[in-house]
Structure 1
Amino acid sequence: MIIESFIKTAKKNFNKIVHEDSTGIALTFGQTLTAGILLSRHVRNFEGDNIALVFPASVGGALAFIATTLSGKTPVGLNFIAGKEEQDWVLDTCDIKTIFTSRVFIQKAKIDEDPRMVFIEDIKEKTSKLEKMMTYFSCKIRSSHSLVQKYKELDAPDKPAIILFTSGSESKPKGVPLTNKNIYVSIRAFSTVFQPKLNDKVLGTLPFFHVFGFIACLWLPLIMGMGAVFHPNPTDYERIGRIVHRNRVTMLLGTSTLYRGFMKRWKREQVSSVRLAFAGAEKLNESVRKKFGEKLGITIFEAYGVTESCSCITVNYPDDFCHGSVGRLMPDVQCKIVNTETYEELQPGNEGLILIKGPNVMNGYYKAPELTEQAFHDGFYITGDIGKIENGFLFITDRLKRFAKIGGEMIPLAPIEDKLSNVLDQDTENEKRSCAIVNIPHSQKGEQLVAFVVDENPDKISLNSELDQAGLPKLSQPDHYISIDSIPMLPSGKVDYKSIKKSALEKFERNV
C-alpha cells in the first residue's frame, strides 16, 4: 500500500529531489524518508491515536503528515481557516489530545496557541546530528524489503491513512476516514490519466486538509516518483508564476477562480514547462478555459470528485476529453444515474442523482453510523449531485444538496438562512418563513448568494453587518438581497427553491 510504495520509490530515487517549497527548502527522496522516520519516533509518543495537523502547503507540512503515517497514528486534517466552532467540533469528534503544528506558522497565521500543541521546531532541536546521520545511512544501506517489513502492520489496506472533514447538509462537519487502499488505488488510477514522466513536478498550493491537496500534492509524487513544489497561498498569483517558471513545474491543479487569477498575471514564457492543467472543486468557467488556452497555450481539463471518493470520480483525459463535461469515469469506478425519488436507474442522457461505487470510496463517516446509512444506497455512495451521462462523459447539471461553491470553498446554505432568519425575526412576531437563500453562477468567483427576504427595503450593508456580529464569515454572506412578499412553498411544505432560483437567475443574468 502507500508506505510500501513510498519506501520502494524513495529507495529507487534516493538522490532525486521530491519536495521543494517557496522558502527555498528542497529535499531528496532519501532525505524525506530519513526525516519522516526520525520525526515519526517522536510522533509515536504523542498522546492520542488521532493527531490533528495544522500546517500550510510546505516541505515541513509534508514531512509532518508523512511522519504521522509512519508513526502508526492517524492524521486528522484540521481546516485552520474554518471557524472556531467547526474546529472545536472536529477536535472533539476525533478526541484530539495532540495538535501537531509549527510555531512559526501559527504566529504568522495569527492562530491562537492551544495547550495541546506540539511544535515541529522543538522536535528538530531534540534530534542530534549523529542520529540524523545514522538514520540516513540506514535508509540508504538497508534493503527495501527490510524497511517495508518494519512498517507492514501500519500499511494494512483498511487502516485509516487520514481523517478529513467536509460539511454535509447537516450543520456539523462530517469526518471522512480514507484508508491506505483508498489512497493507493486513487493514485494508481491517476497515473493512467496523465502517464507520469521522470521530470514531472506538481504545483502544490492546495492545503493538506483538502482531499486533492493530500492525495495529488502529497502522496502522488511520493508514490509515483515525481516532484512537488509547495506554496501556501494559492492566490499569490504573480509569485506562483515565478515559482512555476523557476522550478519547471509540469502539472497544475486548481479551481476556475484560481485559473482566472493565473491567466491575468502569468506570461506564456513562464509556463513553457507545463504540460497538464486540471480544474475541480467548482465548475470551470468556459470563458476562463478559452482565454487561458489562448493566452498561455495550455488546455485546462475539468475533473469531478468529492472527499468521500478520495478526490476524483471522473476526469477529462488529455487525449480523450469533452469540454463542458467533467470527463469519463476513473478506472474501477462505477456510476449510476437514478431517479431522485425512486432510485430507479435512468437511461443515458437523462438527468438524475449521481451514485458512485469503487475501491476509492470511503467505507463510512467517522463515528456516524446513521449518516453513513443515509449516504449509501445498494452499495453506491449518494453524491448529492444531479447529472447525466452522454457518450460516456458525465455532465453535472445541478446540485441536490444545498451548497454553494465560492472560490472553490463549499458553503452550506442552511446555516446562513438560520442566522439571517434570526436577524430578520428580531423585530417581528411573524410565524411565516422570513428568508430563503439560493446560489447562482458568478462569472468571477464561481457562484454568488442571493437572499430573498420578506422585507420591503432590505439593506445589504446593515444586514451583513448584523451577520458579521452573528459570527457568519464574509464568504458566506449574501451578495444580493431581494424583497419578496412571501417565500414560495411546495405542497410538501418545503421551500420552492427552484422558482426563486429562476427569479435570481433572471435578475442577475449579466453576472452569470
Structure 2
Amino acid sequence: MLSFLAGLVVRLLVRFRAYGRDRVPRRGGVLLVANRIGPLDRLLLRAACPRSVRILPDRGYDVAEVAAALDGGGCVLMFPEGAVSGSGHLRAFGGELDAVLAATTKSVDVVPACLGGLWGGRWSQSPGQHTDAAGVMFGEPLPKATPAADLRLAVEVLRADLALKLSDFTPLVHQGFVRTMVSFRGLFRPAVIDYAAGEKTLTGGKLFVGAICVTSYLRGRVGDAPNVGVWLPTSLGGALANLAIAFLGRASVNLNYTAGAGAVASAARQAGLKVVVTSKRFLMRFPLELPDDIQRIYLEDVLAAVTKGQQTRTFLMALLLPAWVIERFVLGLHRHKTDDVLTIVFSSGSTGEPKGVVLTHRNIASNVDAAVRTIRIEPTDTLMGVLPFFHSFGYTVCLWAPLVAGAAVVYSPDPRAAKDVGAIVKKHAVSILLSTATFLRLYLRRCEPDDFRSIRLLICGAEKLPVKLQDEFHARLGVLPMEGYGCTELSPVVSTNLPAVTVGGETQECNTRGTVGRPVVGVAVRAFTQEEREPLPPGTEGVLCAKGPNVMAGYLHQPEKTKEAVRDGWYNTGDVGLVRADGFIQITGRVSRFAKIGGEMVPLERLEDELHDLYGGTDRVLTVTAVPDEKRGERLVVLVVPEAAGGIGALLGQLRARGLPNLWVPDARDCYTVEALPTLGSGKLDLKRVGELARELAKV
C-alpha cells in the first residue's frame, strides 16, 4: 500500500519511470544503496522498489539494528553519501556502509540503485532547469564483500545508463532555444552581446527573429546535402548560422579557420560539403581555400534580403503564439529525432589527419543539459563566449548552453586579445568564463584584478591546468580557476571541479586541485586495462573510459575506428589516469604520449611537468617528444623557446637529482630552440606539428 501511495504521489509531481525492478531479489536480505538528490528520493525509490522497503535516514541510525533487519531477510535502503548532494556530483560513500555490511551474519545482496532527472529541477538543491522526466534504475546484485568505493562506482555507472534512457525525453537544443526565447521573459531580456564588429546587443526576441529569417533565406539555397559548412568566428553571425542549420534539420560543420588549408579541405571533402555559410568581412581576414563547386552563402546577403515586414511578422508570431505551436507547425521540429546528426566536429588533427566526430541531437542535448545542471548556468548569469564553435567545448557550452538556459552570452572572436576580454568581462559583469590554461596565461599578464571581479565560476579545459598557474591567477586576479575535462567524442563535457557548496550547514568540497573533478550528471568514468579493456577498481591507474548519452555516434565514414574507440558504450579517451574513491578523476598521462626507448615506456607528459616544475613560473616554455632512433627505437627531443634555452642543460642535470631514471633524461644535444611552441586554435599543443618539427631539426 505504501508503494502504491508513493507511486501515486510521485506521478502527480514528476514524469516518473522505473527500470530494472526485476534485478531486486524478491527474497532474502537486500541492501539498496542509492545516490541522494533531494526531498523526492525516498518517495521515488519506495514507488519503484518491488518489495516493501525500510528507508534509513541519512545519518543517525543503529548499525546493529539495521544489520539484524538484513539478516532477517528484510529490504533496506541506504544513502551512503550521508547527505543531499549540493552539486549533483556523486559524493564518496561513507564508512557506515561498510559497518552495516560487516555487522551482518548472513548472506546479503547489495543492489546499486540510482535516481536521475531530478538534479537541476525544483526538487533538488539547484534552481536550474525544469525537470521533464525522472527515473529510478536498479542494478545487478553485488556480493556484500564489495568495497564501498566499488559500490559508489557501480551507482555512477548505473546513473549513466539511466541518463541514456532518460535522454529520449530531453528536449532537443533547438527546441529548448525556442521555448526559452519565446517565453515572455525571454523575449525582452538580453540574450547575445556581440563584439565581432563593434558592440551589438540582441534580446531573446530579436535573436529568435534573426534565427527564423536566416532559416527562411537558407531553406531554398542549401540544396539536398545533409551537411552545411560554417566559416565564421565566435559571434552572433556564427550563432545564427548554426541555429538556422539546426532548424533546417541539417548538420553543421564548423570549419577550423586556424588550421591549415589541407586540414580544412580534408574536412570539407569528408563531410561532402556543397554549401558553406560565411561572410565577406571574415574572408578578408581568413581566406577560405575550397573548390569552386562549393557554394558560398554570405551573411551580408542574408541580412540585406530581410525586410522590416518580415521582422515585424516574425516578432508578432513569437509574441502571440505559444512555443509548441512554433516548434510543430512553423518549424516542424517534431520531425527531428534524437539520433539525427546535429553537428560534425573535426578533431584538431594534432596527431594526424582530422577525424570527423559525428554528434547527434541526443549527444548535444544531454551534454548541454548536464552542463547546465552541474555548472548551474542560470538565467541571471552572463557567460563569456570566447571559445570557437569549431571546438566542441565552444559549440556545446558557449553556443547552445546559454541559449537553452536563458543566460546572456557575450561573444568575442579572439580569446587571445587579453585586454579586450578583460574589459568586456568587467563592462558586462560576466559571471561565467570558460577558457584554457594558455589563454589564462595571457589574461594573467595583461588584465587587471578589477576586470574579473564579477566572475563566480572560471572553468578551464582542453589542456592541463597547472596548480601553480591556479595559485598565481587567484593571487593576482582574485578568481580561482577550476579544472574541467572533456573530449570531442564526448560532446565534450565529462567532468569538472566546482566551488564548495553548503547544504544543511555542512560544507561540501567539490574542488580537488590536481584532478579534473567529478563526472557531470549522467556521465560515468572508470579506468580499464589498455589491451583487454577489463575494468579496474577505483584508485587503480589505467586508460580512462567514459559512458553516457554524450558518447558520439561515431567517426565519420570510419566504422572500424569507431568500434575500436567505443566498446559496450564506453569510449576510450586515450588518457591514462585513475578514479579516486571519492570520485575525483586524476589524469596522469596520455597513451599516445609515451616514447619507447630500449623496450621501456617513457612518459613524455611527466617529463614536461618535471622540467616545468624545475624551471618555475607558469608559462609553457618547452615540450618533449620522441623521434626514431636506429639503436634504441626512439630518442627524446626537447623543443624549448628562446627565453628558457640558456638554462636547459642545468634543468636536465636536475632531473637526475630528482631520481628519474637515466633513460628518461634527454641528451642536451637533442634540445632545440624554436621561436614558439606549435599550438592549435584552442591553445593546446599541436602534437602533430611538434613531431614534424622535431624530426626536421633532428634530421631524421
Per mean C-alpha deviation after superposition, the further-off stretch among 265-274 and 386-395 is 265-274
For 1:21, which of 178, 194, 207 is the aligned residue?
Answer: 194
**Residue of structure 2 in register with 1:417 after alignment:** none
Q: State the shift of 1:362 in Å.
A: 0.8
String of CA shifts for 1:475-495, please: whole Å, max 9, x gaps: 9xxx99x9xxxxxxxxxxxxx
Gaps of 5+ in 1: 404-412, 414-435, 456-463, 465-473, 483-497
In the aligned structure 2, how far is the partner of 1:16 from the partner of 1:289?
34
Matches within 5 A, 1:136-285: 136-150=315-329, 151-167=332-348, 171-285=352-466
Aligned-residue sequence identity (percent) comes to: 30
| CA spacing shift, 1:378–1:248, aligned 2, 3 Å | same
Note if contact 1:438-1:500 (Cα within 8 Å) is conserved in structure 2.
no
**Residue of structure 1 in register with 2:174 after alignment:** 3
Note if contact 2:526-2:538 (Cα within 8 Å) is conserved in structure 1.
no
String of CA shifts for 1:141-192, please: whole Å, max 9, x gaps: 1111101213324542111111101156973211111111211111221123
SS of the residue corresponding to residue 202 of structure 1 reads strand
In the aligned structure 1, how far is the partner of 2:422 from the partner of 2:476?
14
SS of the residue corresponding to residue 249 of structure 1 reads coil
Per mean C-alpha deviation after superposition, the further-off stretch among 380-389 and 330-339 is 330-339
Q: State the shift of 1:401 in Å.
A: 2.5
Q: State the shift of 1:315 in Å.
A: 0.9
Matches within 5 A, 1:276-315: 276-315=457-496
Q: State the shift of 1:119 in Å.
A: 0.6
Say whether 1:325 aligns with 2:515: yes
For 1:351, which of 537, 541, 545 is the aligned residue?
Answer: 541
Q: State the shift of 1:317 in Å.
A: 2.2
Over the aligned positions, Cα root-mean-square deviation in angstroms equals 3.1
SS of the residue corresponding to residue 14 of structure 1 reads helix
In the aligned structure 2, how far is the partner of 1:25 from the partner of 1:72?
28
**Residue of structure 1 in register with 2:619 after alignment:** 444
Q: State the shift of 1:505 in Å.
A: 10
**Residue of structure 2 in register with 1:30 after alignment:** 205
In the aligned structure 2, how far is the partner of 1:25 from the partner of 1:113?
31
Per mean C-alpha deviation after superposition, the further-off stretch among 444-453 and 310-319 is 444-453
User: Based on CA coordinates, which of the two structures has the bigger radius of gyration?
Assistant: 2
String of CA shifts for 1:44-101, please: whole Å, max 9, x gaps: 2213221110110111111111111112221111111111111111111111111110
SS of the residue corresponding to residue 106 of structure 1 reads helix
Note if contact 1:50-1:74 (Cα within 8 Å) is conserved in structure 2.
yes
In the aligned structure 2, how far is the partner of 1:452 from the partner of 1:160?
39
In the aligned structure 1, how far is the partner of 2:473 from the partner of 2:559?
44
In the aligned structure 1, how far is the partner of 2:385 from the partner of 2:662?
39
**What amino acid is aligned across from residue 160 of structure 1 in structure 2?**
V
In the aligned structure 2, how far is the partner of 1:344 from the partner of 1:499?
30
Per mean C-alpha deviation after superposition, the further-off stretch among 148-157 and 308-317 is 148-157
In the aligned structure 2, how far is the partner of 1:40 from the partner of 1:169?
34
In the aligned structure 1, how far is the partner of 2:663 from the partner of 2:522?
36
| CA spacing shift, 1:112–1:365, aligned 2, 3 Å | closer
**What amino acid is aligned across from residue 206 of structure 2 in structure 1?**
Q
Note if contact 2:576-2:589 (Cα within 8 Å) is conserved in structure 1.
yes
In the aligned structure 1, how far is the partner of 2:319 from the partner of 2:365?
24
Q: State the shift of 1:111 in Å.
A: 4.0
Note if contact 1:98-1:118 (Cα within 8 Å) is conserved in structure 2.
yes
SS of the residue corresponding to residue 555 of structure 2 reads coil
**What amino acid is aligned across from residue 350 of structure 1 in structure 2?**
T
| CA spacing shift, 1:437–1:316, aligned 2, 3 Å | closer
**Residue of structure 1 in register with 2:310 after alignment:** 131
Say whether 1:386 aligns with 2:576: yes
In the aligned structure 1, how far is the partner of 2:603 from the partner of 2:256?
25
**Residue of structure 1 in register with 2:106 after alignment:** none
**Residue of structure 2 in register with 1:490 after alignment:** none
Note if contact 1:437-1:449 (Cα within 8 Å) is conserved in structure 2.
no
Say whether 1:366 aligns with 2:556: yes
| CA spacing shift, 1:334–1:449, aligned 2, 3 Å | same
String of CA shifts for 1:199-235, please: whole Å, max 9, x gaps: 2111111110101111111101110000111111111
In the aligned structure 1, how far is the partner of 2:662 from the partner of 2:574?
20
**Residue of structure 2 in register with 1:469 after alignment:** none
Say whether 1:39 aligns with 2:230: no
**Residue of structure 2 in register with 1:90 after alignment:** 267
TM-score (norm 2): 0.60
Say whether 1:80 aligns with 2:253: no
**What amino acid is aligned across from residue 366 of structure 1 in structure 2?**
L
In the aligned structure 2, how far is the partner of 1:279 from the partner of 1:132?
39
SS of the residue corresponding to residue 245 of structure 1 reads helix
The aligned length equals 446
In the aligned structure 2, how far is the partner of 1:225 from the partner of 1:110?
34
SS of the residue corresponding to residue 272 of structure 2 reads coil
